[in-house]
């Protein structure tokens, strides 16, 4: 039995494809296409750049400078809630929200737009208090990552609406 639940995905711009075949190509005509086929990858000769699928939960370590609050690589995230892909270019300023607690319940997903002061979830603290988590930024949520440790920790990445592009991605032909 196959699960119908879909997870968010992230594809990071890379110079070399390596041994992976789960890729998004930006073709020379500015069209984006996705493939998981080794044979299709061999057939695509002319492209501007390629994005390689990465492990979602820890990809922030590779694409975002936490000290500078900027992207260090271009990336594309897929939001199953919106069934949409979002492109964020390299060197884009991002807003970071780190949340920690015994239990965290988020009300936002990748692709959602938030305003400053919007409730984005709540957390149960170590003292078993329940606290609202409100957005301190205005923008589009482009990534929600997990920071592994003893307690639940998430990092939420938002960018200004002018710095994220919703793109059409179709199967490569």
pTM: 0.90
**CATH classification of the domain holding 18:** 2.40.50.100
In a domain, 64, yes or no: yes
> What are φ and ψ of residue 42, in 5° steps?
-65, -30
In a domain, 3, yes or no: no
pLDDT tens digits, 80-132: 999 999 999 999 999 998 888 888 999 999 999 999 999 999 999 888 999 99
Q: Are 70 and 27 in contact (CB under 8 A)?
A: no
Helix (H, G, I), strand (E, B) or coil at 95: strand
In a domain, 2, yes or no: no
Domain that holds residue 152: 9-171
pLDDT tens digits, 35-94: 988 778 778 888 899 999 999 988 999 999 999 999 999 999 999 999 999 999 999 999
DSSP state of 162: G
What's the number of domains the chain is made of?
A: 1
């Amino acid at each position: 039995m196959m699960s119908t639940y879909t997870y968010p995905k992230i594809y990071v711009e890379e110079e070399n494809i390596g041994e992976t075949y789960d890729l998004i190509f930006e073709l020379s005509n500015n069209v984006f296409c996705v493939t998981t086929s080794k044979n299709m990858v061999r057939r695509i000769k002319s492209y501007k750049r390629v994005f390689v699928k990465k492990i979602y939960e820890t990809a922030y370590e590779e694409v975002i400078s936490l000290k500078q609050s900027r992207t260090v690589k271009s990336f594309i995230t897929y939001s199953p809630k919106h069934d949409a892909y979002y492109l964020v270019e390299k060197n884009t300023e991002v807003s970071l929200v780190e949340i920690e607690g015994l239990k965290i319940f988020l009300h936002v997903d990748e692709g959602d737009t938030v305003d400053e002061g919007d409730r984005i979830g709540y957390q149960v603290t170590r003292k078993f208090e329940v606290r609202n988590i409100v957005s301190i930024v205005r923008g589009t949520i482009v990534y929600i990552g997990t920071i592994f440790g003893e307690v639940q920790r998430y990092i939420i990445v938002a960018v200004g609406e002018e710095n994220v592009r919703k793109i059409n991605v179709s199967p490569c032909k």
